[in-house]
Amino acid sequence: MTKYIVKRVLFGLVTLFALATITFYLMHAIPGTPFSGEMRQLSDVIRDKLIELYDLDKPYHIRYIKYLKNAVTGNFGTSLHRKGAEVMDIIGKGLPYTASLGAVSFCIAMFVGISLGAVAAFSKKPWINGTVAFIATVGVSVPSFLVALLMMLLFGVKLGWLPMIGLSGWKNFIMPGVALALGPIAMISRLVKSGLQEELRQDYVTLAKSKGTGEVTVVLRHALKNAILPVITYAGPLLATLVTGSFVVETMFTIPGIGAEFVNSVTNRDYTLIMALTIIYGAFIIIANIATDLISAAIDPRVRLK
Amino acid sequence: MDNLLTTENLSVDFETDQGIVHAVRNVSFHLNKGEILGIVGESGSGKSVTMYSIMGLLGDTAHIQCGKMLFDGTDINPCSYQSKKAYSAVMRDLCGSRMAMIFQDPMTFLNPTMKIGKQLCEPILNHTSMTKQQARQRALELMSLVGIPSPETRIDQYPFEFSGGMRQRIIIAIALANNPKLIIADEPTTALDVTIQAQVLDLIKDISKKLQSSVILITHDLGVVASLCDRINIMYGGKIVETGTDKEIFYSPNHPYTKGLLSCICNPEDDSRELKPIPGSPPDLLQPPKGCPFVDRCDEAMKICKLQMPETTVLSPTHLSACWLNELTKRQGE
């Protein structure tokens, strides 16, 4: 077990290294420099000075090696776009907002998705099935910004029940949390529904019933555990994606998270910030995948950890 | 002799996309205490469905009509209960305690993600007041009873760590957990190697003697039945076409289908006799034939066989057969 985790972490580091390398060369292939755009008015002297300061005149491989050396020691450099701001400080300030919102929407997605899926799997009433199928279709096809806008209009402007800006209290989490969770809810409810229906048709469910076990107990004790496996496979990467935020939702609700930085850093050619965000996102995904595999193995003994 | 199980006029229909399948049509039979009853028939003849309806294990697509279904003094006829809830409460009490079922396929009937011990303890905890510790002790006893070596280590393993034969033994152990009066074995050896088959059959026979349980053995293998059963029901097209003691069925079969089945078994002492398969295929139970279900494959079919269901002829107190030929011989004799 420990050996397995160590092995997976080592592989994860190799993956991160590959990710960093590819991103480093790709982002420099984007046309333009950090000093184009609104900073075009800089005088040539200052620009040359800055370019020298950030080593932008050196060949790629030298800058790459220097970057890696610093990164290994935890120094991800300063932002090229914001004066004097350490990249790590920018992320450190934004990540708590983004991560807490992501965690909230993850919980909403799991709870609502599993409940809806279970209800749909058991109900024999067509209208319940229809409603769940409708929610699933809406969740998949309607973009989150549209849902967010509609919610803001209804609950924020018309009814005035929920605040629309920032993340100062628990009420602030509701609308962005739901907007982020809608897509995953649709996915999870469908996974749970088809999983449960599949498992309830299995022979071992018949055997469990023949022991005199009640129908609800059969589901909870036997079927649910087997039906939940595909959900866990989906939930790991989902969590990693949610806690790193969304550009659209964070911008709309004016949340000072890192979700917006992903897009802004690229438009600004803020090389150091792009690198740090990519590595953090990659690390989250890798950790989530390891956790997913460990949980799957804990639930299903047939999954072998090698 | 006392009746343990009586079933009268049982019919089971299934709703499917193609229409209504009449899987079991007007079946009546009984089981005496301490007896081993064989039910023989090919796939789709309704033998498993009959037993599933006795255990109350059929899903919502099944519609059961039944005149009488009585098990050991308890009414288990789903038609005599007002609500589904009341019926399932009665069945929950019976299933796994006084009656239990041994299933066909050891590979799929055990929960793959639950330890063997827990699956074995489930019926014990359902029906007795034992603590978990006592139930585990009982589970260990059961495992040795069905011949699983070193049960102490095996009890904490998962089904995938067991071979097919061992899993079938676990399924048998689960059925035996509460010393049931009735054991229904649904093709318990179909999925097993021939060498294991004999062992498993001996096991069922020995244990039913030891526990003084009655057994209903569903199979399509007449050889299995011959070695084990006191009485035999032959099913075809959702109906019981012939019933008799093992001697009556094997030495004086009456129904052409029974005769056909017997001529499909090879006799090692007489290799001059050719095996004779029954031509054709079983009737479509979406539109069951009006007359005898076997008419299309029967060598001796007459006009009336197609038009009208044959009456049951009593050949001896234990030997009944539903064939128009009996009526013919009777009339010729008169």
Pairing of strands B74-75, B231-236: unpaired
Residue A288, strand partner residues = none
Q: Over the stretch A194-217, which tens digit does the pLDDT of each residue have?
A: 999 999 989 999 999 999 998 888
Residue A128 lies in a domain: yes
Token pair for residue A61?
């491989």
What are phi and psi for residue A259, nearest 5 degrees? Answer: -55, -45
User: CB distance B110–A211 less than 8 Å?
Assistant: no
Q: What is the pTM of this model?
A: 0.82
Note the pLDDT of residue B245: 93
pLDDT at position B174, please?
94
Q: Residue A298 has what pLDDT?
A: 87
Q: Which residues are A201's β-sheet partners?
A: none
| CA–CA gap between residue B158 and residue B112 (Å, rounded) | 7
Of B88, B105, B123, the CB nearest to A211: B123
Q: Return d(Cα A183, Cα B213) in angstroms, integer.
A: 56
A187: containing domain: 96-268
Report pLDDT for A39. Answer: 55
Taken in order A140, A142, A147, A150, is the CA torsion positive or negative? Answer: negative
**Which string of b and e fits B116-130 if b means at least 16 CB within 10 Å?**
bbbbbbbbbbbbeee
CB under 8 Å to A93, separation ≥6 — which residues? A256
In a domain, B74, yes or no: yes
Would residue A111 count as lying in a domain? yes
Maximum C-alpha span of chain A: 86
Residues 6+ apart with CB under 8 A from A264: A270
Least confident of B118-122, B135-139, B225-229, B232-236: B225-229
In a domain, B294, yes or no: yes
- What percentage of chain B reaches a pLDDT higher than 70? 98
- Mean pLDDT value across residues B291-304: 86
Q: What angle do CA A192, A198, A204 make, to 5 degrees?
A: 120
Hey, how many other C-beta atoms are within 10 angstroms of the C-beta on B245?
16
User: Per-residue pLDDT for B162 more than 70?
Assistant: yes
Cross-chain residue pair B108–A202, CB shorter than 8 Å? yes
Within a domain: A300: no
How far is B120 from B188, CA to CA, in rounded Å? 18
Phi, psi at A143, each rounded to 5° = -65, 150
Give me A17's structure tokens: 């290294």
Position A88 in a domain: no
From the CA of B55, how many Å to the nearest CA of chain A?
A: 7
Provide the strand spans (E) within B62-186.
62-65, 68-71, 74-75, 99-102, 182-186
Distance CA A110, CA A207 (A): 30
What's chain A's Rg over C-alpha atoms?
24
Contact B96 A302 (CB under 8 A): no
Name the closest residue on chain A to residue B177, using Cα atoms. Answer: A211
Of B39 and B227, which is predicted with more confidence? B39
- The separation between the first and the last C-alpha atoms of chain A, rounded to the nearest angstrom, is 9
For residue A122, give the chain B residue with the closest CA: B60
Q: Is A99:A243 a contact under the CB 8 Å cutoff? A: yes
User: Which one, of B50, B67, B55, lies nearest residue B13 by Cα?
Assistant: B50
pLDDT of residue A184: 93
- Which among B112, B126, B158 has CB closest to A211? B126
Mutating which of B90, B108, B113 best tests the A interface, going by the most A Cβ atoms within 10 A? B113
Q: Is B110 in contact with A302 (Cβ distance < 8 A)?
A: no
Let me know how long chain B is: 334
Nearest to B68 by CA among B110, B27, B117, B19: B27
Q: At B72, which amino acid appears?
A: D
Is residue A164, in this structure, part of any structural domain at all? yes
Summarised one tens digit per residue, pLDDT across range B115-155 is 999 999 999 999 999 999 999 999 999 999 888 999 999 99
Mean pLDDT of B298-323: 88
pLDDT of residue B95: 92
d(CA B268, CA B118): 45
- For chain B, the first-to-last Cα distance in angstroms comes to 35
A213 with B94: Cβ contact below 8 A: no
The amino acid sitting at B328 is: L
Q: Report the alpha-carbon distance of residue A280 to residue A71 in Å, rounded.
A: 12
Report the candidate in A123, A127, A73, A71 with the shortest Cα–Cα distance to residue A274: A71
Q: What domain count does chain B have?
A: 1
Residue B215 confidence (pLDDT) above 90: yes
What are the pLDDT tens digits along chain A (306 aa)? 788 889 999 999 999 999 999 998 888 888 777 776 655 567 778 778 877 777 777 888 888 888 888 888 888 888 887 777 888 888 888 899 999 999 999 999 999 999 999 888 888 788 888 888 888 888 888 888 898 899 989 998 888 888 888 788 888 888 999 999 999 999 999 999 999 999 998 999 999 999 999 888 898 889 988 998 899 999 999 999 898 888 888 888 888 888 888 888 888 888 888 999 999 999 999 999 999 999 988 888 888 766
Produce one character per residue of A283-303: b if its CB has 16 or more CB atoms within 10 Å, e if not.
bbbbbbbbebbbbbeeebbee
Residue B41 counted as domain residue: yes
Which residues face B13 on adjacent strands?
A: B22, B63
Give chain B's largest Cα–Cα span: 71
Count Cβ–Cβ pairs < 8 Å, chain A vs chain B: 77
**Residue A171 belongs to a domain:** yes
Contact A206 B92 (CB under 8 A): no
What CATH code is carried by the domain that includes residue A223?
1.10.3720.10
* A228, closest residue in chain B (CA to CA): B113
Domain membership of residue A152 (yes or no) is: yes
CATH number of the CATH domain containing B25: 3.40.50.300
Kindly determine whether residue B103 and residue A211, on different chains, have CB atoms separated by under 8 Å: no
Euclidean distance between CA atoms A134 and B198, whole angstroms? 55
- Closest residue of chain A to B90, computed from CA coordinates: A212
3-state DSSP call for residue B272? coil
**Rounded Cα distance, B210 and A186, in Å:** 55
Q: Look at A49 and B14; give whichever has higher pLDDT.
A: B14
User: Quick check: B326 pLDDT over 90?
Assistant: no
What mean pLDDT value characterizes chain A?
87
- Chain A: nearest CA to B144, how far in angstroms? 20
Count how many domains chain A has.
1
* 8 Å CB contact of A207 and B109: yes
